[in-house]
Structure 1
């Protein structure tokens, strides 16, 4: 039976790193994002992922979540892996006392609300179908679920809430043999971090990350693979930092 993975935001950055790892290990990959199919990032991703399919989906459109899952499964077969990866940053960084409601609503709408209801639709389908393979749901949060950044408070709040969301899904789905995991990437070199690259280059050189380097999307993909394969099935609910030691408490 084919192993099928749905990855939100899988056309670029961390999501593409995950898609590449799964496709390389034999998964059939479905990518979902709100961009049109002729977007250069979508075309480039599909060109590097054999057999991958793209499904346009806006995470803030909660009513469309069940249809997305139905379309993916009709085209590719039952989902065995779901990776909730898509996310957006704050509209602008600045004093949290000046935060605008539209930035808060956007970040929470995508990173939390949209992620929750798509996961809900996936879980319902997984529970309704007989399981021939191990199944997993993986939520990509951030070290910002724990570390405080007052200049992007809405992002931190969304990731902390998504961490609890992961634990809730883990508890709900564990009796059915579906593993649920949280990944907390650290400072990863992607398009989202290009605007602050110089700042983090200096901080990494100064010892911020014990590993002494930026993370790469491939680092996240390599971590997802054993989770999707079931190698850590009895660790369901685990929070896994992928941050080069950034979250280590040091004196």
Structure 2
């Protein structure tokens, strides 16, 4: 269980793992930092001796929503480092570990799941750096799926829609009205558990002949409707 700053949430997640007779560890690491990425992998393999699954769930929105004509380089670099650069190089490192572990017979059919966003294709000019990072993750999914298929590693992307989290708290009233007016065919907020259920289905191996697949968890937002 990786976290950057919210130790309490990580501890709560660990409690839930333990409550189901699972085994877990908590590792503080900033995915945007190469040293932290290496430490995350080292602590994981030291504790368990294997990596069967990577879920790239780290993500952040811009600290300030600014018109794309006013976006700062600092904001762009920060968002891209967390949302795209970090996951890219973490996936690269973990994939190499998975390949070696499969060759050694330690694991079989490992999987990589990227958490993307409808912002990959939905324009929001007041948070352009976020949209670009998620569009990049879509191609990242395709590239790794292509490269790793021959290694027996399936790669997927889950693309959430409007999910009720801390990240959307500041715009809740706006989306309450939009959802009620039919922005999504399923007229409710998405919940973190909706994403979790999709992750579980992929992790359990329910789609063995699929890779590079995008799983939309968005209440039908991706439909084109007249």
Fold match, TM over 0.5? yes
Scaled to the shorter chain, the TM-score interval is over 0.9
Contact 1:35/1:56 (8 A) holds in 2: yes
TM-score by length of 1: 0.84
The offset of 1:191, in angstroms, is 1.1
Give the distance between the partners of 1:208 and 1:48, measured in 2 at CA. 34
Contact 1:142/1:185 (8 A) holds in 2: yes
SS of 1:67 mapped into structure 2:
helix
Give the distance between the partners of 1:60 and 1:144, measured in 2 at CA. 20
Give the distance between the partners of 2:146 and 2:26, measured in 1 at CA. 30
* 1:245 match: 220
Q: Deviations over 1:187-226 (max 9, x none)?
A: 0011111111111001000100110001011111111112
TM-score by length of 2: 0.93
SS of 1:150 mapped into structure 2:
coil
Give the distance between the partners of 2:89 and 2:8, measured in 1 at CA. 28
**Which of 109, 116, 122 is residue 147 of structure 1 equivalent to?**
122
Give the distance between the partners of 1:217 and 1:64, measured in 2 at CA. 26
Give the distance between the partners of 2:198 and 2:130, measured in 1 at CA. 23
Segment of structure 1 superposing worse, 125-134 or 108-117: 125-134
1:32 paired to 2:2? yes
**Which of 59, 62, 87 is residue 87 of structure 1 equivalent to?**
59
**Which of 214, 222, 236 is residue 211 of structure 2 equivalent to?**
236
Give the distance between the partners of 2:43 and 2:118, measured in 1 at CA. 33
Contact 1:135/1:230 (8 A) holds in 2: no
Moved runs in structure 1, 4+ residues, more than 3 A? none
Give the distance between the partners of 1:144 and 1:112, measured in 2 at CA. 13
Gaps of at least 5 residues in structure 1 are: 1-30
The offset of 1:184, in angstroms, is 0.5
Contact 1:134/1:229 (8 A) holds in 2: no
**Which of 17, 20, 44 is residue 12 of structure 2 equivalent to?**
44
The offset of 1:228, in angstroms, is 1.1
* 1:225 match: 200
Alpha-carbon RMSD across the aligned residues, in angstroms, is 1.3
